[in-house]
Amino acid sequence: MSTLPSSHLRLTAIDTETTVRIELRGDLDYDNADVLLEAVTDKLTAHPRLRDLHLGCAGLGAVDSTGLSILLMIRRRTDAAHVCLHLEDRTPALDRLLTITGSMEYLTALPADAAARESAGAKELRADTEE
Amino acid sequence: MSSTDAATDVNAQAGSLWSKAPYPVLIADAHGAIVLVNEAAAALLPKACPGARMSDAVPEWLATAHTALRVPHQGDGSAIRSGPVDDRIFEGHPTVEDGGTVLWWLVDATDHLLAQEALRRERERTAFLGKASNLLLSSLNVDRCTHVTAQMAAEHLADAALVVAPARGDRLPLVTCLRGGAPVTSTPTVDPESVPGLAEALQGFPPVATRWVEPSTVPEWVLPEGFGQAGSIVVTPLPGYGVPAGALILLRRAGSAGFTPEEEVFARLFAARAGAAMAAARLYADQSAITDVLMRELLPPALHQVSGVDFAGGYRPSEDHERIGGDFYDVHPAITEGAPSLVVLGDVCGKGLEAAVLTGKIRNTLHALLPLADDHQRMLRLLNMALLNSHHTRFATLVLASAVREGSSVRMRVTSAGHPAPLIVRATGEVQEADTRGTLIGAMPDVHAETAELFLAPGETCVLYTDGFTEARGGPMGDALFGEERLRRVLSECAGLPAESIVERVQMVAAQWLGKGRHDDMAIVVVSAPRTHHLSAVNGRTRGRFTA
């Protein structure tokens, strides 16, 4: 567990071999959205076996257009790394922003290969957890 | 040598010591008769010998000082006098005895005075250079820099000064200033080659030395009106930052002293400062001209009635100057009569120059896609493809609205691409949200949008806005959101107002809500069906077939 410093956005990350969970507290906006992108990019390179990236949004304050742009970039990066992105505990304000901008589906859907993996059954999942 | 003997009699021992003293010493009695002159004094003042009268033997200033000392209460016994002896300056230090005899020490002060004078001049010049720098650097305006340079040069360096800027075609921009006068700008058609050294100085690089010019060889245009005959002329380059800033021509009248080498060096020091300031001002002017050209393309257009549909728009940029936002709107009138006009209102993600560039790109792309304006979805798909970029996910949200007059009402199709849906203000005051939604543009591989069809009866209005309004924080406590509900309430009160009045009303209420708080860009476009009466007399086909 590590805490990454930021003036208005505090990130708390919990890592396992195949999952990373980052709790977001504060504003995801023009001034500090890049902190989140950096943190996620670092996790993606540091964990080559990463399967799931969870972003805990319960403590999220204001999200502006730059913040949303960063979420879209994170989605693009996780797709490229075959990692499932999970936006969890979304606030009503975040839900509203994702709905108005039509990005809800894109940001919350499972990537095609991850969906296939889930449907492939519990066998592979069990194999993952044994490692 | 009887006179020397007489002096020795007065004070033999002292006299022999005085005679060897390295400084000129002179003793004279209360009646102005010289009593003793030592060797140094005799060498300096050949006429002075014991027994001679002061007034005959020494320079006037010393004789006068001596007379003054003899009259009590008129002279200060210890004050130092000074004056010329031949071509040097001497100080006379008097020691007055009780009997009125005065012993004069004469000290050569020429070098001291020269040094003092040099120091004074140097201080004056430093002060002048400091003042010049302050005046020149306090402005980034080229004209003002040039004027200050000419005026200061004329005031302190010469009788008149010309600042010559690099030639524009065959015209030479000049600023002329006579001492005590105001700078005069002119651009005569003259050849810089006609003044020796001027063409080289104007090239600026490689740096050329100051040039003396023979006054009789200079052409008429160099001499300012009413200057008369020139006595000496100097051409000094004004060095810029690798680019030529111009040249300085200093003129002195015939009869006045020429330029000393010191003054020439000083003129170059001044020219270096003036040149740097003018070059900085010119660079700044170039940059702001470029910014102006770019900004002109980004400014929202003035809106008015197009083919019987009223359009009005308002834009209030963020006051946070480093963060010029990316709200924009455009109205593209129909190419053919009877076809709908297209309104675009959008908001680009991010701030500053990058957002401005993306805004420009979107506006240009949409302009090129105008032939497809009937099919909003297709337009948005093509725009998305044009903007999609692997480097970033900077996106835009926008609303497309096509509006065409049908009879006395207006038929509209509106499509939101990730943008707050337009609000429709009915004649009754009811405010409805247009039933359209879609995805933002420029960041996702696939986009989709749903278009809403709607009709505006006369006096009804469709309002397109950016979230700068709804996200504005202010109110009594200073931190409450303006919000969509408040916007709807304001619009409801605007029912039946003309388009421009609605824009003004919404902007005013939002400004009051904000107070002095910071805010994002706020853009609004209002499309209205005017309250009109159909004029059957003009057949309803030509311009002016409706009354407002």
Contact B449, B377 (CB under 8 A): yes
Question: How does pLDDT run across B268-287, given as a tens digit for each residue?
Answer: 888 888 888 888 888 888 88
Give the mean model confidence (pLDDT) for residues A12-16.
90
The answer to whether residue A120 sits within a structural domain is yes
In the chain, the amino acid numbered B222 is: V
Q: Which of A65, A73, A98 to mutate to test the interface with B (most CBs of B within 10 A)?
A: A65
Mean pLDDT of chain B: 84
Q: b/e per residue, A92-129, with b = 16+ CB within 10 A? A: eebeebbebbbbbebbeeebeebeebeeeeeeeeeeee
CA dihedral B227, B233, B239, B242 (to 10 degrees): 110
Give the mean model confidence (pLDDT) for residues B153-159.
89
Which chain B residue's Cα is nearest to A33? B350
Residues of B in contact with A69 (CB under 8 A): 349-350, 392-395, 443
Q: Which of B322, B349, B451, B518 to mutate to test the interface with A (most CBs of A within 10 A)?
A: B349
Yes or no, beta carbons of B350 and A102 under 8 Å apart: no
The answer to whether residue A62 sits within a structural domain is yes
Q: Tokens at residue B211, please?
A: 């040039």
Distance between CA atoms of residues B172 and B391, nearest Å = 49
Which chain A residue's Cα is nearest to B420? A100
**Which residue, among B272, B126, B137, has the nearest Cα to B204 in the 3D structure?**
B272
Question: Is the CB of B323 inside 8 Å of chain A's CB atoms?
Answer: yes
**Across the A/B interface, how many CB contacts are shorter than 8 Å?**
59
- List Cβ neighbours of A64 (8 Å cut-off, separation of 6 or more): A27, A28, A29, A30, A33
The answer to whether residue A131 sits within a structural domain is no
Yes or no, beta carbons of A66 and B349 under 8 Å apart: yes
Question: How does pLDDT run across B56-107, given as a tens digit for each residue?
Answer: 888 888 888 888 876 655 556 667 888 888 888 898 888 888 777 888 888 8
Residues of B in contact with A102 (CB under 8 A): 417-418, 437-440, 447-449
Residues of A in contact with B351 (CB under 8 A): 30, 66
From B394's Cα to the closest Cα of chain A, the distance in A is 6
Q: Which of B324, B362, B440 to mutate to test the interface with A (most CBs of A within 10 A)?
A: B440
User: What length is written for chain A?
Assistant: 131
| Facing residue for A72 by CB, picked from B351, B417, B444 | B444
Question: Is the CB of B447 inside 8 Å of chain A's CB atoms?
Answer: yes
Residues of B in contact with A72 (CB under 8 A): 393, 395, 443-444
Q: What is the pLDDT of residue A127?
A: 44
Yes or no, beta carbons of A69 and B394 under 8 Å apart: yes
Q: What is the pLDDT of residue B208?
A: 63
From A19's Cα to the closest Cα of chain B, the distance in A is 25
Q: Is the pLDDT of residue B548 over 70?
A: no
From B357's Cα to the closest Cα of chain A, the distance in A is 16
Which chain A residue's Cα is nearest to B445? A106
Question: How does pLDDT run across B167-188, given as a tens digit for each residue?
Answer: 888 888 899 999 888 999 988 8
Question: How does pLDDT run across B434-460, given as a tens digit for each residue?
Answer: 999 999 999 999 999 999 999 999 999
The answer to whether residue A3 sits within a structural domain is no
Give the mean model confidence (pLDDT) for residues B242-249.
80
Yes or no, beta carbons of B439 and A70 under 8 Å apart: no
Q: What is the pLDDT of residue A83?
A: 93
Q: Is the pLDDT of residue A8 over 70?
A: yes
Q: What is the pLDDT of residue B32?
A: 85
The answer to whether residue A99 sits within a structural domain is yes
Q: Tokens at residue B233, please?
A: 């002329």
Residues of A in contact with B444 (CB under 8 A): 72, 103, 106
The one-character DSSP state at B453 is E
Yes or no, beta carbons of B439 and A106 under 8 Å apart: yes
- Spell out which chain A residues touch chain B, with contact meaning CB-CB distance below 8 angstroms: 30, 65-66, 68-70, 72-73, 76, 99-103, 106
Residues of B in contact with A99 (CB under 8 A): 437
Alpha carbon separation from B46 to B35, B37, B43, B50 (Å, rounded): 15, 10, 6, 12
Which residue shows structure tokens 């940029």? B317
Enclosing domain of residue A73? 10-125
Question: How does pLDDT run across B196-237, given as a tens digit for each residue?
Answer: 888 888 886 555 666 777 888 888 888 888 888 888 888 888
Yes or no, beta carbons of B437 and A100 under 8 Å apart: yes
Task: Look at phi and psi of residue A49 and say left if phi exceeds 0, alpha if psi is from -120 to 50, else beta.
Answer: alpha
Distance between CA atoms of residues B186 and B501, nearest Å = 49
Question: How does pLDDT run across A92-108, given as a tens digit for each residue?
Answer: 999 999 999 999 999 99
What pTM was computed for the model? Answer: 0.62
Question: Is the CB of B381 inside 8 Å of chain A's CB atoms?
Answer: no
Q: Tokens at residue B483, please?
A: 């919000």
Give the mean model confidence (pLDDT) for residues B290-314.
80
The answer to whether residue A50 sits within a structural domain is yes
From A95's Cα to the closest Cα of chain B, the distance in A is 13
Q: What is the CATH number of the domain that holds A39?
A: 3.30.750.24
Q: What is the pLDDT of residue B319?
A: 64
Q: What is the pLDDT of residue A1?
A: 44
- List Cβ neighbours of B185 (8 Å cut-off, separation of 6 or more): B143, B147, B173, B174, B175
The one-character DSSP state at B300 is P
**Which residue, among B212, B208, B210, B209, has the nearest Cα to B231 in the 3D structure?**
B212
Which residue shows structure tokens 């996620």? A40
- Concatenate the DSSP letters of all residues of B372-405 into one string: GTT-HHHHHHHHHHHH--SS----EEEEEEEEEE
In 10 A of CB A23, how many CB atoms?
A: 19
For B255, list phi and psi in degrees, rounded to 5: 100, -25
Question: How does pLDDT run across B462-512, given as a tens digit for each residue?
Answer: 999 998 899 888 888 888 889 999 999 999 999 999 999 999 999 999 999
Question: How does pLDDT run across A63-94, given as a tens digit for each residue?
Answer: 888 899 999 999 999 999 999 999 999 999 99
Question: How does pLDDT run across B1-37, given as a tens digit for each residue?
Answer: 455 555 445 556 666 777 788 888 888 888 888 888 8
Which chain B residue's Cα is nearest to A100? B418
The answer to whether residue A30 sits within a structural domain is yes
Contact B492, B430 (CB under 8 A): yes
Yes or no, beta carbons of A103 and B444 under 8 Å apart: yes
Yes or no, beta carbons of A30 and B395 under 8 Å apart: no
Q: Is the pLDDT of residue B538 over 50?
A: no
Q: What is the pLDDT of residue B383?
A: 96
Instruction: Give me the long-range contacts of B222-230 (CB less than 8 A, separation at least 24).
Output: B222/B162, B222/B195, B222/B249, B222/B251, B223/B251, B224/B160, B224/B162, B224/B176, B224/B177, B224/B178, B224/B184, B224/B251, B226/B178, B227/B159, B227/B160, B227/B178, B227/B251, B227/B253, B228/B253, B228/B254, B229/B253, B229/B254, B230/B254
Question: Is the CB of B389 inside 8 Å of chain A's CB atoms?
Answer: no
From A76's Cα to the closest Cα of chain B, the distance in A is 9
For B166, list phi and psi in degrees, rounded to 5: -55, 145
Q: What is the CA radius of gyration of chain B?
A: 43
Residues of A in contact with B419 (CB under 8 A): 100-101
Give the mean model confidence (pLDDT) for residues A29-42.
90
Residues of A in contact with B323 (CB under 8 A): 30
| Facing residue for B397 by CB, picked from A30, A72, A101 | A101
Q: What is the pLDDT of residue A125?
A: 45
Q: What is the pLDDT of residue A114?
A: 58
Residues of A in contact with B393 (CB under 8 A): 69-70, 72-73, 76
Cα angle B234, B240, B244 (rounded to 5 degrees) comes to 75
Question: Is the CB of B440 inside 8 Å of chain A's CB atoms?
Answer: yes
Distance between CA atoms of residues A76 and B504, nearest Å = 42
Q: What is the pLDDT of residue B64?
A: 86
The answer to whether residue A119 sits within a structural domain is yes
Contact B355, B325 (CB under 8 A): yes
Q: Is the pLDDT of residue B540 over 60?
A: no
- Concatenate the DSSP letters of all residues of B95-136 into one string: EE-TTS-EEEEEEE-HHHHHHHHHHHHHHHHHHHHHHHHHHH
C-alpha dihedral sign at A68, A69, A70, A72: positive
Q: How many domains does chain A have?
A: 1
